[in-house]
């Protein structure tokens, strides 16, 4: 009897061992080329910066971390707030927030529109959202540049219509970055919204109308609460990549309007301050983790709420 149990347990152990072996290559590659380097970067953020980039190995310094928010005055050596960094941090958070809001304002009616089509045409509309989603991000950013640059579509049209005489300067401003991010990340909002709206039970909507609810009341009190998981998922999917955006501000924002991603690049390039760059990277990662935790907490809450 005991031996049968033991054989079963031995078989179990063998199974688990085989499963570890089978997943080992994937885990090893991700460790070497994704997770491991993050730990090295964490260590780098606590070292002294090298004179020509890189770090002085095996030295310890908190300079990288303090200079995320503070800078030392070159004359009297006192610490003051690093205004440039705070501006960039604030711009990143603000623009990501606006991007999320705008994609929601445009994405919600779009997803609703798609989910109320007949099943056969619905697929085509979803496909139309999927195409930009799988198109190279750089190309979409570049496409946005064609619309907003000085000789671009918007300005040419407005001048031709006589609305303005000189082109509007949209490129190299925060507005350009915002437009680019809304354009690029819109599918990330529409797709999860659509996924939850597709499951919407319209009998509940009908019940609302039977009880004399107005269209607005139905939208706000019935539809919106039911698709809230989709709203949260879409918002997180848009907010997180916006926060870490690098290509869009680089192409549309010009050199001056940096976001966190560009500030990080600067420290590893001409800034030659790798510990600072590493510290900002970790800060960005922590911000993303906070957003993810918020998502996990809210989704589990709303799921138990329905359950």
Q: Does 151 bind another protein (CB under 8 A)?
A: yes
Helix, coil or strand: residue 56: strand
Decide: 64 and 279 in contact? Cβ < 8 Å: yes
Residues in the chain: 307
Q: How far is the CB of 212 from another protein (least distance, A)?
A: 12
Among 72, 93, 97, 152, binds another protein (CB under 8 A): 152
Q: Does 132 bind another protein (CB under 8 A)?
A: yes
Q: Which is nearer to another protein, 81 or 138 (CB)?
A: 138
Q: Which is nearer to another protein, 72 or 98 (CB)?
A: 98
**H-helix segments, the chain:** 2-30, 36-44, 63-69, 83-115, 119-134, 137-148, 153-161, 174-197, 202-210, 215-218, 224-226, 228-243, 247-252, 260-268, 274-306
Q: Does 183 bind another protein (CB under 8 A)?
A: yes
Q: Which is nearer to another protein, 55 or 82 (CB)?
A: 55
Helix, coil or strand: residue 248: helix
Q: Does 142 bind another protein (CB under 8 A)?
A: yes
Q: Does 176 bind another protein (CB under 8 A)?
A: no
Among 94, 83, 103, 281, smallest CA distance to 189 is for: 103
Using CB under 8 A as the binding rule, the residues of this chain from 184 to 213 that contact another protein are 186-187, 190, 202, 205-206, 209
Using CB under 8 A as the binding rule, the residues of this chain from 215 to 234 that contact another protein are 215, 219
Q: How far is the CB of 290 from another protein (least distance, A)?
A: 12
Decide: 249 and 261 in contact? Cβ < 8 Å: yes
Q: Which is nearer to another protein, 82 or 266 (CB)?
A: 266
Q: Does 8 bind another protein (CB under 8 A)?
A: no
């Amino acid at each position: 009897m005991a031996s049968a149990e033991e054989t079963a347990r031995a078989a179990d152990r063998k199974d688990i061992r085989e499963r570890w072996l089978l997943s080992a290559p994937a885990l090893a590659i991700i460790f070497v080329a994704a997770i491991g380097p993050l730990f090295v970067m964490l260590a780098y953020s606590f070292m002294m910066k090298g004179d020509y980039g890189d770090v002085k190995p095996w030295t310890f310094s908190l300079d990288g971390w303090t200079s995320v928010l503070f800078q030392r005055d070159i004359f009297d050596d006192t610490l003051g707030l690093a205004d440039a960094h705070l501006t960039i941090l604030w711009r990143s958070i603000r623009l990501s927030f606006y991007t999320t809001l705008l994609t929601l304002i445009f994405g919600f009616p779009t997803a609703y529109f798609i989910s109320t089509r007949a099943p056969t045409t619905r697929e085509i509309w979803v496909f139309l959202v999927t195409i930009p989603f799988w198109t190279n991000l750089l190309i979409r950013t570049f496409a946005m540049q064609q619309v907003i640059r000085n000789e671009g579509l918007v300005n040419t049209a407005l001048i031709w219509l006589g609305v303005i005489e000189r082109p509007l300067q949209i490129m190299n401003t925060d507005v350009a970055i915002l437009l680019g991010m809304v354009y690029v990340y819109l599918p990330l909002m529409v797709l999860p919204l659509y996924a939850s709206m597709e499951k919407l039970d319209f009998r509940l909507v009908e019940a609302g109308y039977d009880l004399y609810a107005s269209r607005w009341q139905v939208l706000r009190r019935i539809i919106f609460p039911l698709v809230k998981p989709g709203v949260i998922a879409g918002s997180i999917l848009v907010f997180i990549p916006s926060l870490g955006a690098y290509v869009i501000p680089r192409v549309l924002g010009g050199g001056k309007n940096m976001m966190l991603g560009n500030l990080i690049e600067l420290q590893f390039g001409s800034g030659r301050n790798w510990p600072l760059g590493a510290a900002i990277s970790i800060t960005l990662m922590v911000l993303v983790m906070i957003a993810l935790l918020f998502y996990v907490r809210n989704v589990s809450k709303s799921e138990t709420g329905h359950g």
